[in-house]
Amino acid sequence: MKHHKLISVIAIFIFLAVFLTGCWDSVDINDKLIVTTIAFDVKGGEIWYYLEIANIESGKSKDAGESAGKYIIRKGHGKSLTETRDDLDTHLNEPLFLSGVQALVFTENFAKEYLVEYLYRFRVNETYRKKGLTVITKEDPEELYKIAHEKNASVGFLVEGIVETLDESGKSFKRTTMRLIENLSANYTGILIPCIGLQDEEISITGYSVINGPTVTGFLPVEESTCTMFFKVDKPKFHFIVPYNDMNLTLEVLLKKRKITPSYADGKINYDIKMEFRAELMYGDKKTPYNLEDADMREVTKILTAMLKQQISNAIERAQEEFACDYLQFDDIFRIKYPVEFQNMDWGKEFPQAGTTVDVKVDLSTKWGLDYGANKVK
């Protein structure tokens, strides 16, 4: 069933490409190699180019370089991007169809040297699907393909599904490759790109690669990124564990309002950061009743508020001191209010020196219908 679904999705891509261009005789699924994922690596002093191609013809021959199953892997290598693509072309028995590409996967080694060059090359090629995603990995692309293909899955579709699921649940963000290119083309570039890896033989988001200027300069593990997401995600929602008395209480925390106001005086940049959260007590690690009265709820609110304020401040400090990179996009906020001043600044030097004031408010409630009080149903 999954294979039939994949074929249907790819067929839709082809139909739209044909319909929108009006070239009814230019695309034939039997005469194209439908690319779903493109991966790059650097090893042995060469660039390696890996294509994942949907094997939608059951009778397709198994030439060298192909993998058994529903996907084919084709490779090329060379000293430059142009040489690598030229080498790949010598192995292709049919033209490539690139409008089905779900994800670009760059190894960290490749991204450090060729991120900007390849994405600019991507931009001028009108046959690419522009809404695809870009991710970075520390893994060998061949290992990623192997793990996915053993489950008859596409790396590109897996990546897109994982990123979209996290985005919809408020735990991460989704940025298209074209949005990434826009950021790279700005006067200042400080961004995060999702990083994928293998955990328990499964492809997952392991963190975020820090992009400062044209290259990768650091890595933010996913388990340490929660409060950074309060700046990056539209409606972030996470669970926090608050110790209270002899219990550990689990609370669902949703950011309701975020307001960041810059100021500039005497050559000093400052940001006033206000965040309002709605929190809901979900459960504790002890048997109910928890005997939580109004005074207890106020104390839990106070603990959570202090926890959030500290962790948000730590997230800002880490961006400024450890990475010296404004992936929080404070530059956009400052530029809108002070366009002339920003134009004359070196933001890479200004951002680490910017002052911040963080104010956090929390509205805490309990899960409806659960008995958290001594004798009450809240």
3-state SS record for 92-111: CCCCEECCCCCEEEEEHHHH
Kindly report the pTM of this predicted structure.
0.87
State the helix-helix crossing angle for 155-168 and 141-150, rounded to 10 degrees. 90
Domain boundary residue among 187, 208, 224? 224
Same domain assignment for residues 265 and 320? yes
Same domain assignment for residues 198 and 258? no
Residue 378 counted as domain residue: no
Q: Which residue has the higher pLDDT, 104 or 27?
A: 104
Looking at the structure of the chain, the number of domains it has is 2
Question: Could you report the per-residue pLDDT of 150-179, keeping only the tens digit for each?
Answer: 999 999 999 999 999 999 999 999 999 999
- The string over 117-132, giving b where at least 16 C-beta atoms fall within 10 Å of a residue's C-beta and e elsewhere, is ebbeebbeeeebbeeb
Residue 129 counted as domain residue: yes
CA distance 60 to 140: 27
Q: Which residues pair with 273 in a beta bridge?
A: 260, 358
| Mean per-residue pLDDT of the chain | 89
Residue 101 reports pLDDT greater than 80: yes
DSSP state of 373: S
Task: State the pLDDT confidence band at 290, using cuts at 50, 70 and 90.
Answer: confident
CA distance 91 to 208: 34
Range of the domain at 199: 2-224
Q: Which two tokens stand for residue 233?
A: 């995600």
Question: Could you report the per-residue pLDDT of 241-274, keeping only the tens digit for each?
Answer: 999 999 999 999 999 999 999 999 999 999 999 9
Task: State the pLDDT confidence band at 129, using cuts at 50, 70 and 90.
Answer: confident
Same domain assignment for residues 276 and 330? yes
Same domain assignment for residues 155 and 272? no
Q: Counting every residue, how long is the chain?
A: 378
Residue 15 counted as domain residue: yes
Report which of 365, 175, 362, 172 is spatially closest to residue 257, judged by C-alpha positions: 362
Same domain assignment for residues 113 and 260? no
Mean pLDDT within 274-298: 93
User: Can you tell me which residue has the tokens 């008859």?
Assistant: 152
DSSP state of 287: P
Mean pLDDT within 49-59: 81
Same domain assignment for residues 8 and 57? yes
Name the residue type at position 287. K
Percent of the chain residues topping a pLDDT of 90:
79
Domain boundary residue among 173, 206, 224? 224
Same domain assignment for residues 241 and 209? no
Pairing of the two strands 71-78 and 96-97: unpaired
C-alpha angle 338-176-182 in degrees, rounded to nearest 5: 35
Same domain assignment for residues 236 and 175? no
Same domain assignment for residues 262 and 336? yes
The CATH number of the domain where 266 resides is what? Answer: 3.30.300.210
Residue 371 counted as domain residue: no
Same domain assignment for residues 247 and 278? yes
Report which of 363, 378, 368 is spatially closest to residue 304, judged by C-alpha positions: 363
Domain boundary residue among 167, 196, 224? 224
Report which of 355, 333, 348, 329 is spatially closest to residue 270, judged by C-alpha positions: 355
Residue 324 counted as domain residue: yes
Same domain assignment for residues 165 and 290? no
CA distance 136 to 201: 18
Residue 12 reports pLDDT greater than 70: no
Residue 27 reports pLDDT greater than 90: no
Residue 376 counted as domain residue: no
Residues 6+ apart with CB under 8 A from 178: 123, 130, 131
Same domain assignment for residues 113 and 32? yes
Residue 24 reports pLDDT greater than 50: no
Q: What is the pLDDT of residue 11?
A: 52
Q: What is the pLDDT of residue 354?
A: 98
Task: State the pLDDT confidence band at 31, using cuts at 50, 70 and 90.
Answer: confident
